[in-house]
Structure 1
Amino acid sequence: MAYRNRILSKGPKIVAIGGGTGLSILLRGLKEYTSNITAIVTVADDGGGSGILREDLGMLPPGDIRNCILALANTEPDMERILQYRFKEGSLKGQNFGNLFIAAMNEIYGSFELAIKETSNVLAVTGKVLPMTLEDVVLYAVLENGNVVEGESNIPLKNKEASSKIDRVYMEPKISYPVEEAVEAIEEADIIVLGPGSLYTSVIPNLLVNDMVGHIYKSKAKKVYLPNVMTQPGETDDYTVFDHVEAILKHSRKDLLDYVIVNIEKIPEETLEKYKEDGSKPVILTEEDEKRLNNLNIKMIKSNLIEVKKDYIRHDSLKASELIFNLSVRKDKLKKAYS
Structure 2
Amino acid sequence: MKSEKNLSVVVIGGGTGMPVLLRGLKDLPVDLTALVTVADDGGSTGRLRDEMGMPAPGDIRNVIAALSDAEPMLLDLFQHRFQAGKDLTGHSMGNLLLAAMTSVTGNFLMGIQEISRVLNVKGRILPISNDNMSLHARMTDGSVVSGESQIPLAHKQIEQVYLSPQPVHPLPDAVQAIRDADLVVVSPGSLYTSIMPNLIIPQIDKALGQTSARVVYVCNVMTQEGETDGYTAADHVQAIHRHIGDDCIDSVVVHNEPIRQQVREIYAEENATPVIYDIDRLLAMGLQVIENDIIDPSKTALRHDTHKIAKLLYSMIRDE
Q: TM-score range by the shorter chain?
A: over 0.9
Question: Residue deviations 1:16-69, cap 9 Å, x none?
Answer: 001111101110011122341110011110001100111111111100001111
Give the % identical residues.
44
**2:14 is the alignment partner of 1:19:** yes
Match of 1:237 in 2: 229
Q: Decide which of 71, 76, 85 is 1:81's aligned counterpart.
A: 76
Q: Is the 2:169–2:202 Cα contact (8 Å) retained in structure 1? A: yes
Match of 1:149 in 2: 145
Q: Secondary structure at the match of 2:247?
A: coil
Structure 2 letter corresponding to 1:104: A
Match of 1:68 in 2: 63
Q: C-alpha separation between the residues in 1 aligned to 2:120 and 2:313?
A: 24
Match of 1:93 in 2: 89
Q: Secondary structure at the match of 1:86?
A: coil
Q: C-alpha separation between the residues in 1 aligned to 2:249 and 2:299?
A: 33
Give aligned pairs, total: 317
- 1:256 Cα deviation (Å)? 1.3
Structure 2 letter corresponding to 1:245: V
Question: Residue deviations 1:187-233, cap 9 Å, x none?
Answer: 11000011211100011111121111111111110010012111111
Question: Residue deviations 1:106-135, cap 9 Å, x none?
Answer: 111111010011111111111111111111
Q: Decide which of 195, 200, 215 is 1:208's aligned counterpart.
A: 200
**2:270 is the alignment partner of 1:305:** no
For 1:149-188, list aligned pairs within 5 A: 149-158=145-154, 160=155, 164-188=156-180
- 1:291 Cα deviation (Å)? 2.2
Q: C-alpha separation between the residues in 2 aligned to 1:237 and 1:154?
A: 16
Structure 1 letter corresponding to 2:116: S
For 1:29-68, list aligned pairs within 5 A: 29-68=24-63
Question: Residue deviations 1:135-192, cap 9 Å, x none?
Answer: 121100011111110000000001x2xxx31111111123112112112211110000
Q: C-alpha separation between the residues in 1 aligned to 2:7 and 2:285?
A: 26
Q: Secondary structure at the match of 1:278?
A: coil
After superposition, the Cα gap between the structure-2 partners of 1:331 and 1:232, relative to the gap in structure 1 and judged at 3 Å, is same
RMSD of aligned Cα (Å): 1.5
- Scaled by the length of structure 2, the TM-score of the pair is 0.96
For 1:174-323, list aligned pairs within 5 A: 174-286=166-278, 290-308=279-297, 310-323=299-312
Q: Unaligned regions of 5+ residues in structure 2, if any?
A: none
After superposition, the Cα gap between the structure-2 partners of 1:234 and 1:203, relative to the gap in structure 1 and judged at 3 Å, is same
**2:125 is the alignment partner of 1:129:** yes
Q: Unaligned regions of 5+ residues in structure 1, if any?
A: 1-7, 333-339
Q: C-alpha separation between the residues in 2 aligned to 1:274 and 1:308?
A: 15
After superposition, the Cα gap between the structure-2 partners of 1:119 and 1:199, relative to the gap in structure 1 and judged at 3 Å, is same
Q: Secondary structure at the match of 2:168?
A: coil
After superposition, the Cα gap between the structure-2 partners of 1:120 and 1:110, relative to the gap in structure 1 and judged at 3 Å, is same
Q: Secondary structure at the match of 2:302?
A: strand
